[in-house]
Amino acid sequence: MIQMQDVWKTYPNGVMAVNGISIYIKKGEFVYVVGPSGAGKSTFIKMMFREEKPTRGEISIDGKNLSKIKERHIPYLRRNMGVVFQDFKLLPSLTVFENVSFAMEVIEESKANIKKRVMEVLDVVRLKNKARFLPHELSGGEQQRVAIARAIVNNPSVLIADEPTGNLDPETSWEIMRILEEINDRGTTIIMATHNRDIVDSMRKRVIAIENGRISRDEARGMYGYES
């Protein structure tokens, strides 16, 4: 359901970040993307949600060729792909409830249905009791859980996470992983770039390792596998 065929990315400054990557990720998979800093992990991930365009090669999501999607249709693509970042990217002046409802596709939705759906996803991330809080009133782990709620509110088929535990302590990181696992168990494909060796080595999911913009390893039940 996510396919890349001989994908390359050279940035305008000449940096060759991705150099001929082909992958196939099935619906419902949980995939870790590992590799040293600067290896091309973020670029690889950004191309999946059209934050960056490949210089050449083809990417398709659920059978749709990304390069053929018109600029004005990208918001629709994004709604089918939740994205979570290391630095949460919440809107600071909105409450938890509003941060999540703001992302919701609200065309013709009644207020009651919006509220129901937002409270449902806040329940998944165990934050129903903090719906009225502002981001700065929450811990880092709670803020990341809001970001996850926001990412899944439209029921995306894919959840992409770029170092979601990068700013969190180990215990909080595990809380986040349990939530991501639950979301994956409900059928959402998860692609997660990470430097967290403990998590990768305990979960034993598919591991795609990237080095110098190429896939150096792709294992079904892989390990982190680097020295640092």
Which residues contribute to the site for ligand ADP (CB under 6 A)? 11, 13, 15, 17, 35, 37-43, 95, 97-98, 115, 119, 128, 131-132
Q: Do residues 46 and 223 lie in contact, with contact meaning Cβ atoms separated by under 8 Å?
A: no
CB of 28 to ligand ADP, least distance (A): 25
C-beta of 163: minimal distance to ligand ADP in Å?
8
Nearer to ligand ADP, 66 or 131 (CB): 131
Type and span of the H or E element at 64: strand 64-65
Smallest gap from residue 101 Cβ to ligand ADP (A): 7
CA 205 to chain centre: 16
Chain residue whose CB lies nearest ligand ADP: 131
Q: Which is nearer to ligand ADP, 17 or 90 (CB)?
A: 17
Q: Are the C-beta atoms of 100 and 146 separated by less than 8 Å?
A: yes
- 9 three-state secondary structure: strand
Q: Three-state DSSP class for 209?
A: strand
What is d(CA 98, CA 96) in angstroms, rounded to the nearest whole number? 5
Counting every residue written for the chain, the total comes to 228
Comparing CB distances to ligand ADP, the nearer of 39 and 183 is: 39
Residue (188 or 194) nearer to ligand ADP, CB = 194
Question: What's the closest the beta carbon of residue 149 comes to ligand ADP, in angstroms?
Answer: 12
